[in-house]
Amino acid sequence: MTLHLRMDVDGALRQLPGLPATVSGALAAVRNDGVGADRLAEILQQDPGFAHAVLTVLDTPFFGAGSGESGVRGICRSTSRVTLERAMIAAAVLRQLPGGGDQWFDRYAFWEHSVGVGVIARALATNLGQDEQQAFTAGLLHDLGRIALDVYFPREFQGVVRYRQRHDTWIRDAEVAVLGFDHCVFGGSVAVRWGLPVDLVEAVCSHHTPEAANVHHDVTRMVHLADVLARGLQIGDPGDDTIPMLSQSAMKRLGL
């Protein structure tokens, strides 16, 4: 049973849908300084559902980006491009990988864990003088690969959950045993496929091995620590109740 469930990452990515054209267009526009605020608002409003999701993300206390403005045009005029981009990324991924679930995996509890990691990472960033929204978004999306497997490859992911239950092991080890790779590898590939920024790709790829980050070391270290803390505090359900080893190197580098 284990062998025939093994997946080829590149083959799986070819089956994975890209972000909707309206979302990709909005992300391209927000990254282009030559696109004015009013034009950006027009592009964003081409997908009313996505625009509403972005406003909802910006309005959450977790994201911490309240500007006092309302409406898409007002937000585009008053909010920094970096903040808007982060909100768009969070909204896009949450729409692409919604809550729900079945007997195998509770996506609502999964997203509760993910938000918890984001909030803890943001708190760490505040205390360390780092970018709070960057840390929150990286924490929110750190387990991107796991929920992408559940949404788009449910049969294979059910095999992972069965293996974890049978062997009472860390779900990451079950992923490797059943699929031949873990959610970090797959999530990093998904993040690249969807055009996410390098700091998010690294946090997704390396939050269990923060020393492997190449550029955005502190973001990955904060997400690593936040994930361990969220698991220890039993915030939501990432798929098992294991508390991974905390990287002493990451702690030392963060000055904690």
Residue 24: which residues within 8 A CB-CB, separation 6 or more? 18, 195
Residues of the chain with pLDDT under 70: 1-6, 64-69, 101-102
Q: What is the pLDDT of residue 2?
A: 42
Domain harbouring 199, CATH code: 1.10.3210.10
Q: What is the pLDDT of residue 3?
A: 41
Q: What is the pLDDT of residue 178?
A: 93
Q: In angstroms, rounded to a whole number, what is the distance separating the alpha carbons of residues 6 and 229? A: 31
Q: What is the pLDDT of residue 207?
A: 96
Find how far residue 184's CA is from the centre of its chain: 11
DSSP-derived secondary structure for 42-77: HHHTTSHHHHHHHHHHHHSTTTT---S--HHHHHHH
Q: What is the pLDDT of residue 129?
A: 94
For the question of whether the overall pTM of this predicted structure is more than 0.85, the answer is yes
pLDDT digits (tens, 9 = 90+) for 21-74: 999 999 999 999 999 999 999 999 999 999 999 999 998 887 766 655 678 999
Q: What is the pLDDT of residue 59?
A: 87
Q: What is the pLDDT of residue 1?
A: 39
How do the residues of the chain divide into helix, strand and coil, expressed in percent and rounded to 5?
70, 0, 30
Q: What is the pLDDT of residue 227?
A: 97
The whole domain housing 22 covers 3-254
> Which tokens in the block code for residue 207?
């939050």
Question: In total, how many domains does the chain have?
Answer: 1
Q: What is the pLDDT of residue 60?
A: 84
